[in-house]
Structure 1
């Protein structure tokens, strides 16, 4: 993800994505007594898929009587990892490869199992990851069908020497999975990098209207198929495996909390995550409502 998903223009933008959730939403719900030690603050990054996953985690915990509060749309890892470290949030859905790359820019793990095995040693003290799901959402460099044909683009390396404009989240300017990585791994330099959002409405609009030639769009984004866009192959594995995984404060990872979240991971797949994102992005359903449907249909509520 590595460590990130997308929305239509009518979806909310960078600091307020999530189909209607307010930035830094601190709403609290209590569906049961729970123990004081089981009170959990669930956070999310600032894009719709992560908000959806946070709502799923929150709902699964509430179903087990855990008191839950939510702080949604916090921002990028630069914003929420410190929150996990200082205890202002306890739990957040993450993407294994991008998380590892963020924590250790020298990490070489690529496969799902390798990345997951490397995470514990890279995590800040006091944090842990629970079971990872098979659901994967990777950053993919995406171009329109016309651009792919014009420049004969099949893989990222084919962009070398083409003088193209790249669009992506602001952090891509310096992250190893962004602009520096394209130069290091493929020798690709761009005419310009435009700071947009994390695979959200700004990115989708820029690719549609030709403001950028290539963009970071998440692999579960239904707008890729809807628009007939082309995702470029990544033979050098700039983007490692990006399995969805809960990252949590160790002190809050009780047996009951861990079991509830691991049950969610056991049911999450790339297919059902992509389907749910279609409901959020294309059908304009609220992430909280889609989360409830997922939990109910999978016996988790």
Structure 2
């Protein structure tokens, strides 16, 4: 007589729970690995030297986690890059929080770094988020002769009202409404726009004019100078401009998040200004970024 086949015993509750836990761990491990190897992680940026090298820094940090990365700078601005990321055509791009907020919100009122970051997070498309801000600020600041600072004992942009009223203001680019409102504390006179950073410094060094430069511009042209300085303030300044990576949350695992956070902990305004200057002078952004990544230990 043939032996009767054994009927499988039903799993106990403990066995089922153990199997479920193992399955959960496996799923978590797969999810934490980040993007699939078959699909490259696409990093974009605009064509400015600073953003091209910032994109290369983020890309290099991600590549060190084993991700295959492609960098594709475009002529698009933040709004186009945001839309491309929301559609899945880009996976990450660097941006300044203030510019992001303007691209996302018609008339934003947040100005401090924390408030701007919070407002950006609330307005981002579904599935898109921002990483930790680096110690890089492109917030516009007042530039003036050191003799004016000493004569009026100025320590903060909020003290700007102590300066003589009606001093002309020279600036790069075109001032935004929030920048004009912030600099109204200085009771400035005529405003001359669209100058180069060097022209702005030349206007203010005699102490008869004020200037306005972005954080990156000031870090470049004021390096090593003692006769010209800047006034800035977190409480009374223009809208914050902190560098952040903007990315598709579903494409970034734990290893990649740690890599992006390491960049945030090391990269400074002076660093990015210097690296951007090298790219502007013709250096390859990837080579410049890799040199910085190696020297900073990211």
TM range (shorter): 0.5 to 0.7
- Partners of 2:81 and 2:139 in 1: how far apart? 19
TM-score by length of 1: 0.65
RMSD across aligned positions (CA): 3.9
Are the structure 2 counterparts of residues 125 and 261 from structure 1 closer, same or farther at C-alpha, using a change threshold of 3 Å? same
1:295 and 2:296 correspond:
no
Correspondence 1:277 to 2:273: yes
**Distance between the aligned counterparts of 2:232 and 2:263, measured in 1?**
30
* Rounded Cα–Cα distance in structure 2 between residues aligned with 1:152 and 1:282: 37
Q: In the alignment, does 2:213 pair up with 1:216?
A: yes
For residues 147 and 262 of structure 1, what CA distance do their matches in structure 2 show? 40
2: CA distance between counterparts of 1:123 and 1:101? 12
Q: Distance in 2 between matches of 1:249 and 1:160?
A: 49
**Aligned pairs, number:** 251
Cα pair distance change 1:150/1:244, threshold 3 Å:
closer
Distance apart, 1:152 and its partner CA: 5.9
The two structures have a TM-score, normalised by structure 2, of: 0.65
Aligned-partner SS, 1:230: strand
Kindly indicate which of the two structures has a greater share of residues assigned to helix. 2
**Mind listing any 5+ residue stretches in structure 2 that lack a counterpart?**
1-34
Contact 1:43 1:72 in 2 (8 A): yes
1:50 CA drift (Å)? 2.4
Matches within 5 A, 1:78-227: 78=79, 80-100=81-101, 102-104=103-105, 105-108=107-110, 110-112=112-114, 114-133=115-134, 135-145=135-145, 148=148, 154=154, 155=157, 157-158=160-161, 161-170=165-174, 172=175, 175-179=176-180, 181-183=182-184, 186=185, 188=187, 190-195=189-194, 203-210=196-203, 213-218=210-215, 221-227=219-225
Cα 1:248/1:169, change in 2 over 3 Å: farther
Q: Quick one: distance in 2 between partners of 1:41 and 1:117?
A: 26
In 2 relative to 1, CA 110–165 (structure 1 residues): closer, same or farther, beyond 3 Å? closer
2:250, 2:164 → 1: CA distance?
Answer: 48
Is the contact between residue 43 and residue 74 of structure 1 (CA under 8 Å) also seen in structure 2? no
The answer to whether the aligner puts 1:258 opposite 2:257 as a matched pair is yes
Within 2, Cα distance between the matches of 1:147 and 1:99? 36
2:237 match? 238
